[in-house]
């Protein structure tokens, strides 16, 4: 039975990873800062990745975007042309953050090649 290891928190004061548990608190061995474990898990649960376009504007599900450069699609002869408008994007995890549908098909795109329309 494989279980995922919980992520090691970093110290909010000195940003070091030399952390150990002490009862219901985390303690940083480098600077001595202590903070409750419950606050860490709650902050991790509430944290959502913010996806920004090429101009730094925050993208959301359902936004319309425009391609800022020609993109060749790997494994095919299709090229997505600069200036193509894409409606109703969906944000996902990973390095290709944007899922969208175009006339040429469905694609996963990196947000750095898009700008909010």
pLDDT tens digits for range 25-74: 888 888 888 888 775 444 444 445 788 999 999 999 999 999 999 999 98
Q: Residue 106 pLDDT more than 50?
A: yes
* Domain assignments of the chain as residue spans, ordered by start: 8-47, 65-116
Give mean pLDDT, residues 93-112: 90
Residue 24, C-beta contacts closer than 8 angstroms, at least 6 positions apart = 36, 37, 38
Give mean pLDDT, residues 73-99: 91
Q: How many CB atoms lie within 10 A of CB 16?
A: 13
**Common-topology check for domains 8-47 and 65-116:** no
Identify the band that residue 4 occupies on the pLDDT scale cut at 50, 70 and 90. Answer: low
Q: Residue 84 pLDDT more than 60?
A: yes
Here the contacts of 46-49 (C-beta below 8 Å, separation 24 or greater) are 49/93, 49/97
Q: What is the pLDDT of residues 6-25, one digit of tens each?
A: 666 788 877 778 888 888 88
**CA-to-CA distance for 98 and 93, rounded, in angstroms?**
8
**CATH homologous superfamily for the domain 65-116:** SH3 Domains (2.30.30.40)
Under 8 Å between Cβ of 31 and 20: no
Q: What's the pTM?
A: 0.58
Q: How many CB atoms lie within 10 A of CB 20?
A: 9
Give mean pLDDT, residues 85-91: 92
Give mean pLDDT, residues 106-113: 92
Pick the CATH number of 8-47 from 3.30.360.10, 1.10.3720.10, 1.10.260.40, 2.20.25.10: 2.20.25.10
Higher pLDDT, 23 or 91: 91
């Amino acid at each position: 039975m494989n279980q995922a290891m919980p992520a090691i928190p970093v110290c909010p004061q000195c940003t070091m990873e030399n952390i150990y548990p002490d009862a219901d608190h985390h303690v940083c061995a480098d600077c001595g800062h202590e903070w409750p474990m419950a606050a860490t898990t709650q902050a991790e649960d509430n944290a959502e990745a913010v996806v920004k376009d090429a101009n730094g504007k925050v993208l959301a599900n359902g936004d319309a975007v425009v391609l800022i450069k020609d993109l060749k699609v790997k494994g095919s002869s299709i090229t997505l042309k600069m200036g193509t408008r894409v409606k109703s994007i969906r944000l996902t995890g990973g390095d290709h953050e944007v899922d969208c549908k175009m006339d040429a098909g469905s694609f996963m795109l990196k947000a750095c090649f898009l700008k909010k329309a």
